Amino acid sequence: MNMKFGMDWQTCTLAFHILRMQRHVWRKLEVLSSTQQTLCIQKMMFERQGENDKALSAYINALLIEPNHVQCKILLGSLLTKMDPGMLPLAKALLSDALRIEPTNRVAWYHLGLVHRDDGRVADAADCFQAASMLEESDPIEKFSSIL
3-state secondary structure 80-141: HHHHCHHHHHHHHHHHHHHHHHCCCCHHHHHHHHHHHHHCCCHHHHHHHHHHHHHHHHHCCC
Flag whether 68 is in a domain.
yes
Residue 49: pLDDT band by 50, 70, 90 thresholds? Answer: confident
Between CA 115 and CA 98 the distance in angstroms is 14
Flag whether 75 is in a domain.
yes
Flag whether 17 is in a domain.
no
- Cβ atoms of 104 and 135 closer than 8 Å: yes
Flag whether 115 is in a domain.
yes
> Domain range for residue 121?
30-139
Tell me how many domains the chain contains.
1
Flag whether 23 is in a domain.
no
Residue 83 maps to which CATH number?
Answer: 1.25.40.10
Between 16 and 99, whose confidence is greater? 99
Flag whether 66 is in a domain.
yes
Q: Can you give the pLDDT at residue 118?
A: 93
pLDDT at 65 over 70: yes
User: For 68-106, how does the pLDDT look when each residue is reduced to its tens digit (9 = 90+)?
Assistant: 888 889 988 988 888 888 889 999 999 999 999 999 999
Flag whether 2 is in a domain.
no
Flag whether 3 is in a domain.
no
